[in-house]
Amino acid sequence: MQVVSMHQAKSTLLQLVKRAATGETILLGAYGKVEAKLVPATTPDVPGKRVGLLA
C-alpha cells in the first residue's frame, strides 16, 4: 500500500474519497510515515422509525 502525502491529498481529496468509497483503504502521511487512514464509511443497520404508531 502506498502512502499519499498530505500535499497530494489536499489537491486530490475528491478522487481519494471516491477511491475509499469503492472499498480501498488510503494511507495519508508525511515523509513516508503513515499519519492517518482513509477508509470507507459504514452505515449502521438501524431500523427506520414508524410514524403514526402508538407505543
Determine, yes or no, domain membership for 51.
no
Determine, yes or no, domain membership for 44.
no
Determine, yes or no, domain membership for 46.
no
Determine, yes or no, domain membership for 25.
yes
User: What's the number of domains the chain is made of?
Assistant: 1
Determine, yes or no, domain membership for 55.
no
Mean pLDDT of the chain: 87
Determine, yes or no, domain membership for 28.
yes
- The tens digit of pLDDT for each residue in 1-30 reads 789 999 999 999 999 999 999 999 999 999
pTM for this prediction: 0.70
Q: What is the DSSP string of 1-55?
A: -PEEEHHHHHHTHHHHHHHHHTT--EEEEETTEEEEEE-------PPPP-TT---
